[in-house]
Structure 1
Amino acid sequence: MPLRPGRCYRHFSGPAYTRKEYIPGVPMPKITKFTMGNVNGNYDYELRLVALEKGQIRHNALEAARVLALKQLTNKTGSDQNFALIVLKYPHHVIRENKMMAFAGADRLQDGMRLSFGKPIGTAARIERLGDIIMIAKVKKEHLEIAKKAFEAAASKIPLKTKIDIVPIPKEAVVQ
């Protein structure tokens, strides 16, 4: 069965459904790498992808945004040693779906809303506060525009309104 659109899972109500030890059959999140590039490098700017509204981001949307940003940064900067990309949100919340049949005569085979709790179909990261940071990229000054374009492309994969904050990283004072 194909995935439902992201708008079906964007908003949430109620507590998070996260106790995986009690939930049978939770699929693994698609996103596996959260830190990419050279995290120990000396960088001038930090770009932050910030959420402007509350909601949920499915694991496949997080992975799509990560892959797109990583590919653009790697291809345009020349190497993965010229930046650091960190995904801060982890998909803890288990998403359920009550699968419905959609063909002629399905009403005789299905129970409708009786026992409609649903089966786990994936996971999502919850954005519970405005201004939560989803991803961070650290770059040098010459790669700032490239990183900004990569984050704009990655933001298109995320189902919430976002903005990009650019924060200069202060240089450490040299003590002699």
Structure 2
Amino acid sequence: MHGGCYRIGNGQPYARKEFIKGKPQTKIAKFQGGKRGEYDYVVQLCSNEKMQIRHMAIESARLAANKTLEQTTGETGYYSVLRIYPHILLRENKMIATAGADRLQEGMRRAFGKAVSLAARVQNGQCIMEMHVKKDHLEAAKKALVGACVKLPITPSIVVTPTKKN
């Protein structure tokens, strides 16, 4: 399975897991990290285009960002949240490429495919991940999200928003 084949979501997404035996489990371990609390800034990773992102890429981006930020701020110096969930099933119709394969398979007839992975469809401008940090760690959070951008199949933008204190 090649990730480039699944970047652009063509057609209607397939998310009916109750009809598929052996459905893949999501690789994302945690959707929230760090410690909740009062923070000065929200640093968001936003998409620049419409795209599908596989769950392996989401998890590796989350791990890269959290690990980088945890080294500078500690475990309690930030709070990170994943804002997307991979619920779309990606299917693959595997073809046999050996001698005598023409007698074993049906080709494109009844080619539903086997569920091999999960993905999240992201719209233009949608938030993928956000980090809540204090003023001291703002640059470290930007650096962490730049490191997470490398793991994603798109080039997202980083948006910094100050939180309003009443």
The structure 1 segments of at least 4 consecutive aligned residues displaced by more than 4 Å after TM superposition are none
**1:105 deviation in Å?**
4.9
- How far 1:130 sits from its partner (Å)? 1.2
Instruction: Give 1:116's match in structure 2, choosing from 104, 111, 114.
Output: 111
Look up the match of 1:101: 96
TM-score (norm 2): 0.93
> Any gaps of 5 or more consecutive residues in structure 2?
none
**Count of paired positions:** 166
Aligned-partner SS, 2:17:
coil
Matches within 5 A, 1:24-103: 24-39=21-36, 41-77=37-73, 79-103=74-98
Q: Which digits, 9 at most, give the CA deviation of each residue in 1:44-81, with x for residues without a partner?
A: 1100100011111101110000111111111122x110
* Structure-2 residue corresponding to 1:10: 7
What is the alpha-carbon distance in structure 2 between the residues aligned to residue 86 and residue 151 of structure 1?
A: 12
**Equivalent residue, structure 2, for 1:22:** 19
Structure 1 unaligned segments of length 5 or more: list them.
none
Report the secondary structure of 2:18's partner residue: coil
Alpha-carbon shift at residue 6 of structure 1 (Å): 2.0
SS of alignment partner, residue 166 of structure 1: strand
- Amino acid in the other structure paired with 1:96: R
- C-alpha distance in structure 2 between counterparts of 1:102 and 1:52, whole Å: 38
CA RMSD, 1 decimal: 1.4
Matched, 1:161 2:158: no
